[in-house]
Amino acid sequence: MMSWARRSFKGQPVWVRVGADQRPILDSEGRAEMKYRQEDAKSYRPSPGNLAPFAEDASPPVARTEPRPPRAPRAASGPPRARSKTTSASSTDDHAPGTIHVWTDGACSGNPGPMGIGIVVVADRQRAERGEYLGVGTNNIAELTAISRGLDLAAELAPDKARPIRIYSDSNYALGLLGKGWKAKANQDLVASLRDQLATFPLVKLVKVAGHAGVDNNERCDQLARQAVISRHNI
């Protein structure tokens, strides 16, 4: 019988899916399933070695971040792959004239499980929001697809691809693959397609935001993604 049990992840209290023996249930890659709140649609896959018994006096998390996959080793030879730049939200010039702001988030009820994405695009005085149900898959697929759909929506609102674009995401996985040169061990076709799509926008900057930290548009994307998962419909 499966259930959720309290554990600690890097000093933060979390919920972990466990079996009748109260040990974490591991997937085919030897990773556990973890949520920061039991009711969350989004879950993460940490190594069980990073989980510790839950302490009642553990301090609550300030901001929630997705566990970072191991950095892939850099090839010894060959030219470096062109990639988009990743910055933190505080270092981004959010007020540059003509900048298009693309906020994205992915949610997954179980991992794998029903997936949804949420997108908010702000271009000048235009604002568009979209939630989309993607079917069954993983949280990482949802995060990557959200960025792709966000670029599509940005092109609808502002067809001039020469304008600066800021893409905001709380996914270390997606930002690592697209902005830091991580090697894709899974979802390779999706990653390659998204890299090609990004290359058609000459002035793209990827921006890391803290998930569930009260950032308005990030929270709105999370809400849209959850609604899509729950309703199994596009919003």
Average pLDDT, integer, range 157-170: 92
Q: How far, CA to CA in Å, does 112 sit from each of 6, 10, 146, 229? A: 21, 24, 16, 13
Averaged pLDDT score across all residues of the chain: 83
Indicate the pTM of the whole model. Answer: 0.63
Average pLDDT, integer, range 139-152: 96
Name the class of domain 85-231.
Answer: alpha beta
| Site of tokens 């990004």 | 198
Stretch among 19-33, 131-145, 147-161 having the lowest mean pLDDT: 19-33
Higher pLDDT: 139 or 89? It is 139
- Give the model's pLDDT for residue 63: 39
User: Which of 56-70, 72-86, 95-109, 138-152 tops mean pLDDT?
Assistant: 138-152
DSSP state of 50: G
92 has a pLDDT exceeding 70: no
pLDDT band of residue 56 (cuts 50, 70, 90) is: low
Terminal-residue alpha carbon distance, the chain: 35
In whole angstroms, give the CA distance from residue 131 to residue 95. 26
220 has a pLDDT exceeding 90: yes
The DSSP-derived string for 156-193 is HH---TTS-EEEEE--HHHHHHHHS-PPPSS-HHHHHH
- Give the model's pLDDT for residue 95: 59
pLDDT tens-digit map of 60-85: 433 344 444 555 555 444 444 445 55
- Give the model's pLDDT for residue 39: 77
pLDDT tens-digit map of 183-195: 999 999 999 999 9
Domain assignments of the chain as residue spans, ordered by start: 3-53, 85-231
Higher pLDDT: 112 or 27? It is 112
